[in-house]
Structure formats: structure tokens, C-alpha cells
Amino acid sequence: MESQKLVIFETNNEEYGIPVEFVISIEKLGTITALPEMPIFLKGIMKVRDQLIPVLDTKELLFSHSLEVSDKSRLILIETPEVTIGLLVEDAKEILETDQNNIKELNLMTLQTSAYIKAMVNLENRLIAMLDPRSLLLSLKELEQIKEAVENQQVLN
């Protein structure tokens, strides 16, 4: 039976999973440099292993509320063909391996409003929304602006 590995994180007291093949690493939060005139969900950029990474606030993206940084806060580095980003999360909890039978695709109505939530992981006493990081990024109309800002910062350094 085929299984799926997910990096599980928490935002707004809800659990979300990202397929492990998108995840480069999970980092402790460092210094985030704010960029002027960027969308509210873009907290700024952070240097990780000599690479400038845009930091997106998952709570702002998903719930339109700013995430309050704590000792548990982490940055999940995600790589897509378009850009490498850092997702700021309240807590990176675990790597979960689950059976495909536990993954339930969402119906079309849900996909139209939240195209980046592709399925739900239905466990005995947990329900985890599975995010598609590429769809999440492509849903951001500011994606090109974010990529340009990071490229401009890299030229300056």
C-alpha cells in the first residue's frame, strides 16, 4: 500500500500538512528584514545558508491575522519551480507518514475557494488539511513582485 509523508505544522490552532518532497528544511526563526510596500502576508526576507528567502506568514495567508512569534515558531523552507520561500508557522510538529486510504480529496466547491488545500488527512482523532505549496504560491497575485524584491536584495548584497 502506498503512503504519503507530510510535514505537519500548526497555525491558528489547526494542523496542516505539506508533502515532504516540497520541504527543504525546518529552521529556527532568525532575523527577518522587512521590505517596503510588500503585501501584509510577506513578513520580509531572511538569510538562510547565504540565500535570501521570502518569509510568508501562514496565519495571515490562511486566516487574515498576523502570527505572533514565539519560541515554538519555525520557518519551513519550501521549494517550488517558481521560487523558494519560507512559511512562518506557529509550530512545526512532526513528519507524519500516512496511508493513501486516509487521504480524502476535496470536492470541487472547496477547490474553487481554496485551490491550495488539495485534500484532508482523516485520522482516528485528527483532521489535517493538506496544502499544495505550488498552488498556494500561484494563487498569490503578488508572486512576481515577491520574486523581484528578493532578486533586487540579492543584487544589493
Q: pLDDT tens digits for 3-19?
A: 899 999 999 989 999 99
CA atoms of 92 and 53, how far apart (whole Å): 18
Q: Compute the average pLDDT of residues 36-49.
A: 88
Phi/psi of residue 37, nearest 5 degrees:
55, 35
Q: Where is pLDDT greater, at 123 or 38?
A: 123
Options 3.40.50.150, 3.90.380.10, 2.40.50.180, 3.30.1300.30; CATH of 3-149:
2.40.50.180
* Structural element, H or E, at residue 112: helix 108-113
Check pLDDT > 70 for residue 107. Answer: no
Q: Where is pLDDT greater, at 146 or 101?
A: 101
- Confidence label for 28 from pLDDT (cuts 50, 70 and 90): very high
pLDDT at 112: 55
Check pLDDT > 60 for residue 63. Answer: yes
Q: Residue 117: helix, strand or coil by DSSP? A: strand
Q: Compute the average pLDDT of residues 87-104.
A: 91
Q: Are 73 and 87 in contact (CB under 8 A)?
A: no
pLDDT at 110: 52
Check pLDDT > 60 for residue 135. Answer: yes
Q: What are the percentages of helix, strand and coil residues in the chain, rounded to 5?
A: 25, 45, 30
Q: Where is pLDDT greater, at 28 or 108?
A: 28
Q: Compute the average pLDDT of residues 24-51.
A: 89
Sorted by sequence, the CB contacts under 8 Å of residue 151 that are 6+ apart come out as none
The helix/strand count (H/E) of the chain reads as: 4, 11
CA atoms of 78 and 145, how far apart (whole Å): 18
Q: Indicate the average pLDDT of the chain.
A: 85
